[in-house]
Amino acid sequence: MQHTIDLRMAADRLWFVLMVVWLIAAIGRRKTVRRQSHGTRLWQSGILLLGGWLLFWRNTGVAWLDFTVMPRTNIVQWTGFAITLAGIAFALWARLTLGTNWSGVVALKEGQNLVRRGPYRVLRHPIYTGILAGLAGTAVTRGSVHALMALPVCAFAFWLKSLTEEQFMVDQFGEEYLQYRRHVRALVPFIL
């Protein structure tokens, strides 16, 4: 049982590392020339916060939400941890590939270019893919109903955000982005 607790805490630490790298990488971003409305940002952020609460809250106080559905075996815990690690590493790779084009909100940056290298060769939204994979892995290590519910909640928030991003990219890059979109999947290579 000791391994289970350690792996859950290790998964939590991976999320902390992601946040620290995210903050450091945000230094020196390009100037924003257009950003999504405050209303859409608030709506998407609220859904993500709900997903985060579902994932990281230890005990909701609601019996059926707190019920453990994943076995707390070493193989399940290690699998969840490995998925978390891979997902976070993939999200970090995508974030660092974007460089100064990145923004925490849907935005267009001064002098922004269409990035098609690194993970953007195979996915249009690899940061979301990595984060969702990491969320899935962490949900497995936690094993509760509420932790597993976090994944579709966060996926819905990222889907909403991706719709706004897609429109911004079409507005900015026109046919170049439409062609990129025809050849590169959004979240899952060769599938979705």
CA dist list (Å): 64 to 60, 70, 153, 155: 10, 14, 17, 22
Q: Is 154 exposed, middle or buried (0-12, 13-18, 19+ CB in 10 A)?
A: buried
Compute how many other C-beta atoms are within 10 angstroms of the C-beta atom of residue 120: 18
For residue 192, is it within any domain? no
- Residues 6 or more apart whose CB falls under 8 angstroms from that of 133 comprise 83, 84, 86, 87, 90
For residue 191, is it within any domain? no
Kindly report the CATH number assigned to the domain that includes residue 83.
1.20.120.1630
- Evaluate whether 140 touches 73 at the Cβ level (below 8 Å): no
Position 100: which residue type? T
Range of the domain at 160: 2-26+40-103+111-183
Q: pLDDT digits over 143-185, tens only? A: 999 999 999 999 999 999 999 999 999 999 999 999 999 999 9
For residue 130, is it within any domain? yes
Q: What is the tally of structural domains in the chain?
A: 1
For residue 31, is it within any domain? no
For residue 34, is it within any domain? no
For residue 89, is it within any domain? yes
CA dist list (Å): 117 to 25, 30, 160: 18, 19, 24
Q: Which helix (H) or strand (E) holds 159?
A: helix 145-173
For residue 155, is it within any domain? yes
pLDDT category at 1 given cuts 50, 70, 90 is very low
Q: pLDDT digits over 64-121, tens only? A: 999 999 998 999 999 999 999 999 999 999 999 998 888 888 999 888 999 999 999 9
For residue 188, is it within any domain? no
